[in-house]
Amino acid sequence: MEWTDDGIVLGVRRHGESSAIVELLTRAHGRHLGLVRGGAGSKLRPVLQPGNSVHAGWRARLDEHLGYYALEGMRLRAATLLAVPHAAYGITHLAALARLLPERDPHPEMYETVERILEDFDDATMAGAHLVRFELAMLGELGFGLDLSACAATGVTSDLIYVSPKSGGAVSRTAGEPWRDKLLRLPPFLREDEDAAGCTADDLRDGFALTGRFLLRNVLEPRGQGHSDARDGFINAVTRPRGQGALPVVALPDPMGR
């Protein structure tokens, strides 16, 4: 068995003295692991960093085997991104979200989305908006999508500013006003006719509160999981007031213990 594909490095762990097991999110083969001979050495270290894009060749005697990867670096963005505090947290959180997908189950649209996010990840506000949208897309991919297209109470499609915490349906300003304190806010950048250009820190907090509630209830808690420290760190980094000074650069642990 063998194939070639494009992939994004999600994680790496040492295997034996000189090899490494590499986890990729690939375009056509989903989240897929493989053994890289020499992957624990210094030569491949710049390539095997989370967030990098690679061209992968995989082969194994049987399809169910771990198999071997031959990897070629295509877009080595990790070194640049990891110098930015919010990006360091964000890449870790993106990888955690990707691991919610079943192994070896193709999700080409999610792969393309992650590629686009990583290419536009240096600006904190845009990165925050991208991650909220990705969490929303992940809910949909896992079968728990939210209906934000029309008011769940009246059917109107305009002035949607709330979301029901129970049904996940959008609610208009008029219909939701009596229960505004019990509803989740729908930030402007999640509405179909809005972009993230004027997104504020409060908008990002509202977005993460929205997606976070449904991820926790529908996806994470049934698996015995909770939100990661990386997610919390990312939200703090992208919503931090600019006048408070810069956050320290995050030193992520070396996945191979070097």
Q: What is the pLDDT of residues 51-72, one digit of tens each?
A: 999 999 999 999 889 999 999 9
CA angle at 138 for the pair 135 and 141, rounded to the nearest 5°: 160
Radius of gyration of the chain (CA): 20
Q: Which CATH number fits domain 123-244: 1.10.3470, 1.20.1440, 2.60.120, 1.10.10?
A: 1.20.1440
In CATH terms, are 2-76 and 123-244 the same topology? no
**Parallel, antiparallel, or unpaired for β 147-151 and 19-26?**
unpaired
Homologous superfamily (CATH) of 2-76 is Nucleic acid-binding proteins (2.40.50.140)
pLDDT computed for residue 82 by the predictor: 80
Weakest-pLDDT range from 69-73, 83-87, 148-152: 83-87
Residue 244's pLDDT band (cuts 50, 70, 90): low
Helices (H) and strands (E) in the chain, counts: 7, 9
Q: What is the pLDDT of residues 137-150, one digit of tens each?
A: 999 999 999 999 99
Q: Are 13 and 20 in contact (CB under 8 A)?
A: yes
SS3 assignment, position 211: helix
Residue 193's pLDDT band (cuts 50, 70, 90): low
State the burial class of residue 165 (Cβ atoms within 10 Å of its Cβ: 0-12, 13-18, 19+).
Answer: middle
The residues, ordered by sequence, that sit 6+ positions from 129 with a Cβ below 8 Å of its Cβ are: 189, 196, 199, 204, 207
pLDDT computed for residue 249 by the predictor: 47
Q: Are 25 and 111 in contact (CB under 8 A)?
A: yes
User: What value does the mean pLDDT take over residues 113-127?
Assistant: 94
Domain regions of the chain by residue span: 2-76, 123-244
pLDDT computed for residue 105 by the predictor: 97
Rounded distance between C-alpha atoms, residue 20 and residue 12, angstroms: 7
pTM of the entire predicted model: 0.90
Two tokens, residue 246: 């810069």
